[in-house]
Amino acid sequence: MAASVTAAESPVSVPHVPLVALERVEKTYRTGRLSFAALRGIDLEVEAGEMVAVVGPSGSGKSTILNMIAGIDRPSAGTVTVDGRRLDAMSEEELAVWRGASVGIVFQFFQLLPTLSAVENAVLPLDFARWGTSRERFEQARHNLDLVGLGEKADHLPSELSGGEQQRVAIARALAADPKLIVGDEPTGNLDSVTAVAMFELFARLNAKGKTVLYVTHDRGLAARAHRIVTIRDGLVVDA
């Protein structure tokens, strides 16, 4: 009997999918008869596990890009895809649920509720998401405060914390749902230079643990510590 010959199987190619992909993204803001093009056709990809700094002059569109990626704002044209989800195609309710589970956002101004303790601020996203039991939520929030080095100050009010400590509480809050992606809009802009460097080192540790970190900064020194710098000018990516 003749031996059967089996053709060698061709390897199956798996398409490359970045964690974040902006394609031909435009954003125009309108006020009455006036309009302003904040983004003019952005193409940008961020790989899982990267730490990326976004730099550029004031008004160049840096924060608008972050708002697109975080699902805070919508493009006027183009597509925004994060972790396989088309944010521009979601309803407001879907976006709210997605944000709570998928992205941690850190702002320049800490936005802590002054009458709540550090742990109560850090637990808020879990409360809104109705994640687990109340005990489990507080255990998770305390764990996140430990990660940022504030476990011993969990019961302090924001007024009892330094600026750097308040920003660390804000980062613990951003970590609430263990998101893959952390975005920061000038997260060190309200801190002195020494505290800002310490804050960056915290981002670097989180990145080393597998978090993808994307942040806007005016500080070229802090930007230079990222894996990659994306430069925005006049609503366009001019260097990535």
Classify residue 7: in a domain, yes or no.
Answer: no
pLDDT, tens digit, 9 for 90 and up, residues 41-97: 999 999 999 999 999 998 899 999 999 999 999 999 999 999 999 999 999 989 988
Domains of the chain: total: 1
The answer to whether 164 touches 198, Cβ cutoff 8 Å, is: yes
Structure tokens at 197: 């460097």
Chain centre distance of CA 147: 17
Classify residue 211: in a domain, yes or no.
Answer: yes
Nearest-10 crossing angle of helices 163-174, 134-147: 130
Using CA atoms, how far apart are residues 55 and 61, in angstroms rounded to an integer? 10
pLDDT, tens digit, 9 for 90 and up, residues 100-148: 888 999 988 888 999 999 999 999 888 877 788 889 999 999 999 998 8
Task: State the number of CA atoms in the 13 A half-sphere of 63 facing the CB.
Answer: 10
Classify residue 13: in a domain, yes or no.
Answer: no
Average pLDDT over residues 1-7: 50
- Partner residues linked to 105 by β-bridges: 183
Q: What is the pLDDT of residue 38?
A: 92
Strand order in 20-31's β-sheet?
34-46, 20-31, 77-82, 85-86
Classify residue 8: in a domain, yes or no.
Answer: no
Classify residue 2: in a domain, yes or no.
Answer: no
Q: Write the CATH number for 212.
A: 3.40.50.300
Classify residue 40: in a domain, yes or no.
Answer: yes
φ, ψ for residue 148 (rounded to 5)? -95, 10
Nearest-10 crossing angle of helices 118-129, 134-147: 130
Classify residue 85: in a domain, yes or no.
Answer: yes
What global pTM score does this model have?
0.85
> Which domain covers residue 55, as residue numbers?
20-239
Contacts (Cβ under 8 Å, ≥6 apart) of 102: 82, 83, 85, 177, 179, 180, 181
Pairing label, strands 34-46, 20-31? antiparallel
Classify residue 134: in a domain, yes or no.
Answer: yes
Q: What is the DSSP code (8-state) at residue 157?
A: -
